[in-house]
Amino acid sequence: MAMAFLPPWLLVSLLILLPISTVAQSNGNITAGDSLIAAANSSSWLSPSGDFAFGFSPHSDKDFFLLSIWFANIPDRTIVWYANGDKPAPRGSKVELTADRGLVLTDPQDQQLWSSQTIIGTVASGVMTDEGNFVLQDREFTTVWESFNSPTTPTDTLLPTQNLTRGGVLSSRQSETNFSTGRFRLRLQQDGNLVLVTVNLPTDYANEAYYASGTTSSGDPNPSSPGRVLVFNESGYMFILRDNGQQVRLTQGQPVESSADFYFRATLNFDGVFTLYSHPKASNSNRSWSPLWSLPENICVASLVSEGIGVCGYNSICTLKADGRPMCGCPRGYSLLDPDDQYGSCKPDFIPGCEEDRLSPPGEDLYTWEDLTNTDWPSSDYALLRPCTENQCRQSCLEDCMCAVAIFRLGNSCWKKKLPLSNGRVDSSLNGGKALIKIRKNNSTLPVPDPPSDQYPEPKKKNQHTLILIGLVLLGGSAFVIVILIVAVCLGRFSFIYHNKQPKIIANASSVQLNLRCFTYKELEEATDGFKEELGKGAFGVVYKGTIQMGSSVHVAVKKLNNSFQDGEREFRTEVSVIGQTHHKNLVRLLGFCDEGQQRLLVYEFLSNGTLAGFLFGDLKPSWNRRIEIAIGIARGLLYLHEECSSPIIHCDIKPQNILLDDYYNARIADFGLAKLLMMNQSHTNTAIRGTKGYVAPDWFRHMPITAKVDVYSYGVVLLEIICCRKSVCMESDLEDKAILTDWAYDCYQEGTLDALLEYDAEALDDRKRMEKFVKVAFWCIQEDPSLRPTMRKVTQMLDEVVEVLVPPY
């Protein structure tokens, strides 16, 4: 109320000063007890010049933030240091400068996410310097911690005056927008060698270096002078300083810009290229960051390693762009394993292998070729033919079921390679050498059924009728002709009306997914040998194993829907439309369908390792790590169904019998027969109870709206089954209190007896921290109140350890 009585000039002054106070409250110096809150327009701690800011940066997920340092005067925020890349801070989190622990980052529930781990001395103040270094000092102004030298928080960027000593490391991020730890490292080793390496995540095991400075004691004429420190001076020059004082520049090209007019940074990019950049300081400049030099000069050629993968994933090809950065792509006949990871591995769009060749008719031309010049996968050889012509090279690979690619070098050499192919690259030094890629015919794109005649445009038919009537008038002199034409028109019209009354299931289904194949019932009867080998059955049909010809023999699973099921037609349409629009590595792929009279069948890809139920509840307990991967895969598949499809989908029957395992034991969600397809403007639906005893959420029995949270509940039950390797309901148990897994698991959790719950599984108990975290995630999922259950996005974040898992309520 007092504001209303202030003079107008004072009100204007306060409004002008208000935004300034939110961004420049510290002027470089922060005292113990000061804090910042993660929010959309939160304040930051600026350096005295205003060049650098410390605070919260928005994350790619709008509800999370990154504790970071960035260039404050550049419109496109460039982050140079970050503390919590693997654990983004939720909105409302706080970073506080404390006297005993330094910087402490906590979430809204006051759970610690990160700290600077200052344990020597007492912190009196913090300083955001003009060099971009955040420094903590004691009462004597002695530095007790600094962002420039934080071994427990390696980031991806060096700034001028920031040096890298022996044992120092830079770690790339996973992508341009994902700040989780990536797989590339820049290290100054203890022997003085500066190297760029890939590591095999989630471990820190390093493969062979794809760049090395050679500044080791063994490579120096003076054996006592290995590299001591990587220096990045104020002028933007970068060199390795040896013990004897000798300087070894990283590249010949050094900055020509003045540090007074330009910012500099050196960043290990997410694609493994270490690059020095400059940016003008002038506020009116429209230039962005310009690369001055990079290491290695050609990462596609330099990234050869004997183990693991290079800059691109398996079966991929690396091409160098004009800016010195790599571009990855799949050859024809292959596609990305993860469509969202352009630098990931490629998978064949056909079924490779000797078994498929053996089942194909003899003498059939099964393959076609993709020829790529100056392309090679150098580390995937298994046979060398020499001397050999190009035709002999092709023929040898064609007749060898293990051969995926043959490399023919001009001259007389032929290298045969098998999957997976690693370190693929375009390399001009191959002087015209060819990569001969063998691709199976007619196995990835399935034929489309011809549209029924009733799909032709109605106006065309009306025009035809009009022309006939005009003809009648013109032929009025012949009564006989008129009669004949009238009869023809009537018969045609009757045929048209009758035809339009027929079911349009095939048209509806075929228009959903253009690569679905329409089978006849006879084809599928022959493919399954008269529906002989049963794979499983459910409430809506039986699944049989079969073999069909799609360029070659392909094993399939054919689901024959029950004719007696009253909702069979609706079930069929739902399943075809839902599966036809989905594409994810954790979902089973639909290959085709049959709709013939009362016969409705679905044709799926056949997955060799059966159901998750058979995997979990057999005589031998599967490995803990494989169970963990399966649990995460199911969660990602459900996340895709709930949030990432064009139309969100509720599965409604998540259970181990509906989870299949492929050749590599990747989890694949199957059976969308119960799925409810939600429209974009529809958040919930009420329907009859669907699902399976033991996995059904209580929402179904309480006349509550049915949302995606019913799948979350079922997933929680399945997650407990994966952890414990036992069924959710086990009435054969001697003890009644163990019959219901969810109840027994919570009792064990409360009593601290999870060892008994896991039947003393040594492998799982050795990973106790993660095991307990997964148990807590399961309890969050099976909360009776749907509003307390997390979304599947939050579940995946908890499983991936991106967010903290709090103690679940009872």
Handedness of CA 749, 750, 755, 756 (dihedral sign): negative
Cβ–Cβ under 8 Å, residues 152 and 171: no
The end-to-end CA distance of the chain, in Å, is 46
- List Cα–Cα distances, 56 to 100, 112, 147, in angstroms: 22, 16, 15
d(CA 753, CA 737): 14
**DSSP, residue by residue, 730-746:** -TT-SSGGGSBHHHHHH
Question: Which one, of 694, 746, 753, 738, lies nearest residue 718 by Cα?
Answer: 694
d(CA 730, CA 324): 60
d(CA 638, CA 645): 10
Question: Which one, of 302, 288, 341, lies nearest residue 175 by Cα?
Answer: 341
Residue 209, SS3 per DSSP: coil
d(CA 799, CA 647): 25
Range list of H helices, 581-708: 612-616, 624-639
Contacts for 248 with CB less than 8 Å, ≥ 6 apart: 213, 215, 227, 239, 240, 241, 242
Question: Which one, of 307, 80, 100, 304, lies nearest residue 212 by Cα?
Answer: 304
504 labelled binding-site residue: no
**DSSP, residue by residue, 493-548:** HHHHHHHHHS--HHHHHHTT-TT-EE--HHHHHHHTTTTTSEEEEETTEEEEEEEE
d(CA 750, CA 785): 20
Question: Which one, of 25, 14, 19, 26, lies nearest residue 41 by Cα?
Answer: 19
| 107 is annotated as an active-site residue | no
Prior bond to 226 cis, omega within 30? Answer: no
Show the tokens assigned to 36.
């910042």
Residue 191, SS3 per DSSP: coil
Range list of H helices, 8-96: 8-23
**DSSP letter assigned to residue 729:** B
Show the tokens assigned to 586.
């954790």
Show the tokens assigned to 556.
């399939």
Show the tokens assigned to 297.
């000069």
d(CA 600, CA 576): 11
Q: Which of the following is catalytic: 271, 653, 711, 761?
A: 653
590-615 b/e (C-beta count within 10 Å ≥ 16 → b): bbbbbbeeeebbbbbbbbeeebbbeb
Please identify which residue in the block is written with the tokens 């510290």: 26
Helix (H) / strand (E) element for 441: namely none
Residue 275 bridge partners (DSSP)? 267, 294
Q: Where are the beta strands (DSSP E) in 99-219?
A: 102-106, 112-115, 125-128, 134-137, 143-146, 157-158, 164-165, 169-173, 181-188, 194-198, 211-212
Cβ–Cβ under 8 Å, residues 206 and 185: yes
What phi-psi label fits residue 236: left (phi over 0), alpha (psi between -120 and 50 degrees) or beta? left
Helix (H) / strand (E) element for 6: namely none
- List Cα–Cα distances, 263 to 23, 57, 149, 157, 266, in angstroms: 21, 20, 20, 13, 11
- List Cα–Cα distances, 523 to 34, 530, 570, 604, in angstroms: 74, 10, 24, 15
- Residues with a catalytic annotation lie at 653
Instruction: Write out the binding residues for ATP.
Output: 560
Instruction: Write out the binding residues.
Output: 560
